[in-house]
Structure 1
Amino acid sequence: MCRKLSMWSRCFKVLGLVVDTSVGACSVGLYEHGSSGLTCLYDDTALMTRGHQEYIGPQIWNCFQKSGIKPSSLNFVGVTLGPGSFTGLRVGLSFAKGLAEGAGVPLSGFSTLEAMAALGGLEDVRRLVVIEAGRGQVYLQAFEGMAAVGGPISLTIKDNEALNAYAAALPDVAVLTGSGCEHVRSYWPKAEVIPQISPSILAMAHLMFDDCDRSDVRPIYIREPDAKVSDKRIVRFDTEPPAA
Structure 2
Amino acid sequence: MSYILNIETATKNCSVSLAKDGVTILCKEIAEEGYSHAERLHVFIEEIFKESGYNIKDLSAVAVSQGPGSYTGLRIGVSAAKGLCFALDIPLIAIDTLETLAAQAKINKGLIIPMIDARRMEVYSAIFDSKLEKKREVQAQIIDENSFNELQDDLYFVGDCTVKCKSVLNKSNHFFLETLVFPSANEMSFLSFEKFKINDIVDVAYFEPYYLKDFMITTPKKK
TM class by shorter chain equals 0.7 to 0.9
Check if 1:201 corresponds to 2:191.
no
2:160 to 165, 173, 179: 179
* 1:24 matched residue in structure 2: 12
Q: Distance in 2 between matches of 1:125 and 1:156?
A: 22
Taking structure 1 as reference, are residues 16 and 131 closer, same or farther at Cα in structure 2, changes over 3 Å only? same
If the length of structure 1 is used for normalisation, what is the TM-score? 0.76
* Residues 152-193 of structure 1, C-alpha deviations (whole Å, 9 max, x = no match): 112235xx3xx51x4123332431111113333343532321
Check if 1:85 corresponds to 2:65.
no
Check if 1:151 corresponds to 2:151.
no
Secondary structure, aligned partner of 2:148:
helix
Once structures 1 and 2 are overlaid, which stretch shifts more, 170-179 or 101-110?
A: 170-179
Q: Distance in 2 between matches of 1:126 and 1:81?
A: 22
Secondary structure, aligned partner of 1:224:
coil
Match of 1:14, as an amino acid?
A: S
State whether residues 27 and 44 of structure 1, in contact with CA within 8 Å, keep that contact through their aligned partners in structure 2: yes
* 2:55 matched residue in structure 1: 70
Q: How does 1:76-155 map to 2 (within 5 A)?
A: 76-119=61-104, 121-122=106-107, 124-144=109-129, 145-155=131-141
* Residues 102-154 of structure 1, C-alpha deviations (whole Å, 9 max, x = no match): 22211111111011111363265311111111354211111122222222112
RMSD: 2.3
Identity, % of aligned positions? 27
Check if 1:44 corresponds to 2:28.
yes
- The aligned length equals 207
TM-fit CA distance, 1:44: 0.7
Secondary structure, aligned partner of 1:169:
coil
Taking structure 1 as reference, are residues 213 and 115 closer, same or farther at Cα in structure 2, changes over 3 Å only? farther
Q: Distance in 2 between matches of 1:213 and 1:87?
A: 28
Q: Distance in 2 between matches of 1:173 and 1:98?
A: 42
* 2:221 matched residue in structure 1: none
State whether residues 81 and 110 of structure 1, in contact with CA within 8 Å, keep that contact through their aligned partners in structure 2: yes
1:169 to 150, 157, 171: 150
Q: Distance in 2 between matches of 1:171 and 1:182?
A: 23
Unaligned runs of 5+ residues in structure 2 are 219-223
State whether residues 131 and 138 of structure 1, in contact with CA within 8 Å, keep that contact through their aligned partners in structure 2: yes
Unaligned runs of 5+ residues in structure 1 are 1-12, 229-244
Match of 2:142, as an amino acid?
A: T
Secondary structure, aligned partner of 1:84:
coil
